[in-house]
Homo-oligomer: A and B are copies of this chain.
Amino acid sequence: VTPPRGRRPTGGADTRGAILVAARELFAENGFERTTMRAVAARADVDPALIHHYFENKDGLLDAAIDLPIDPQAVLGALEVDRELAGTEIVRRVLGVWEDSPAVRDRMIAMLRTGLSHEHAAALVRDVLGRTLLAGLGELVEPDRRELRAALIGSHLGGLMMARYVLRVPGVASATTDDLVASVGPVVQHYLTGTLTDQVPPRG
């Protein structure tokens, strides 16, 4: 068969970029799960084999499309701590990245801010957060209600990042990282391994 008129027969200099543009559009329109590699290829007007060539698989395409500033598994993957103590270590590591790498932090803030203000970007951020956070947490999170647990951790840490570095709310903007690790660590632990179904907490 003859390839469609105008299809790029080989990978030119702009092919990778064209694939990314198409992927971002389709992820935004249909979500990650419902977007096929074939649809991205058709939208970008390239041979599907080129997507595999540049991005290996759909996960690689998503990572490149979202340009994730950091790999959660690199931050969380090698936690050599007791599962019952992981909450504190997670908060320590995440805060460490934010404090020591302002450029990474700024890109995380930019990604979150874009997701919050543009409907089409919300789907991308949602997919990335959902997938990478769960993957990063891995075995640390209780199998029961994994999705809820990961989402509560993510929304708490995301809210904390925005409150500390963007809104600069006094209590959290001026707190030391040790203060925040000690305060938020037990909460992340609760979401990781605590019982989420008790209706009312025991009296403290």
Chain A positions near chain B (C-beta within 8 angstroms): 82, 84-85, 87-88, 113, 115-117, 122, 125-126, 129-130, 145-152, 154-160, 162-164, 166-173, 175, 178-179, 181-187, 189-191, 193-194, 196-201, 203-204
Contacts and interface: CB of A to CB of B under 8 A. Distances in A.
A162 B164 CA distance: 16
B122 A151 contact: no
Contact of A183 (B158, B159, B179, B191): B191
A177 to B, nearest CB: 12
Contacts of A157: 159
Nearest to A109: B116
Contact of A190 (B116, B167, B187): B187
Number of this chain's copies in the complex: 2
Given A113-B117, A122-B167, A171-B152, A194 B204 contact: yes
Contacts of A116: 113, 116-117, 162, 166-167
Given A160-B159, A163-B158, A187-B190, A203 B115 contact: no
The 9 closest A-B pairs by CB, nearest first: A159-B159, A151-B171, A155-B163, A147-B171, A186-B201, A148-B171, A155-B159, A151-B172, A183-B196
A87 B159 contact: no
B84 A126 contact: no
A162 B169 contact: no
A108 to B, nearest CB: 13
